[in-house]
Amino acid sequence: MDDNEAAPAGAPQPSPASQNVRQFTVVEDDNGIRLDRWFKRNLPQIGFATVSRWARTGQIRVDGKRAKPDDRLEEGQVLRVPPGGENTKRGPKPKRELTPDDIEQAHAMVIKETASAIVLNKPPGLATQGGSKTHRHVDGLLDAFVDGEDVPRPRLVHRLDKDTSGVLLIARTPGAAASYSKRFSSHSARKVYWALIVGVPEVFEGTIDAPLAKQPGTGGEKMHVDHEEGQSAKTRYRVVERAGHSTAWVELEPLTGRTHQLRAHMAAIGHPIVGDGKYGGQDAFLTGSVSRKMHLHARRLVISQPAVDGKSVPKLDVTAELPEHFAQSMEHLGFDPSISDAGPLIVAPPEKNRAEKKQAARKFAKQYRKDRRGERRTRTAGVRGNTGGDPIGRKRKPNKRSGKPNGKPAGKRK
What is the CA angle 365-367-373, rounded to 5? 105
- In what helix (H) or strand (E) does residue 342 lie, and over which residues does it extend? none
Contact 229, 284 (CB under 8 A): no
Quick count: other Cβ atoms within 10 Å of Cβ 238?
Answer: 15
| Distance of alpha carbon 177 from the chain centroid | 9
* Residue from 30, 161, 163, 276 carrying the catalytic annotation: 161
Say what angle helices 35-42 and 48-56 make with each other, to 10 degrees: 140
Closest CA to 167 of 321, 311, 38: 321
Q: Is the dihedral of CA 195, 198, 128, 289 positive or negative?
A: negative
Question: Is 161 assigned a catalytic role?
Answer: yes
- DSSP structure string for 385-410: T-TTSS-TT-PPPBPTTT-SBSSPPP
What's the first-to-final CA gap in the chain, in angstroms? Answer: 101
Put residue 166 in one of left, alpha, beta given phi > 0 → left and psi -120 to 50 → alpha: left
List residues with catalytic annotation: 161
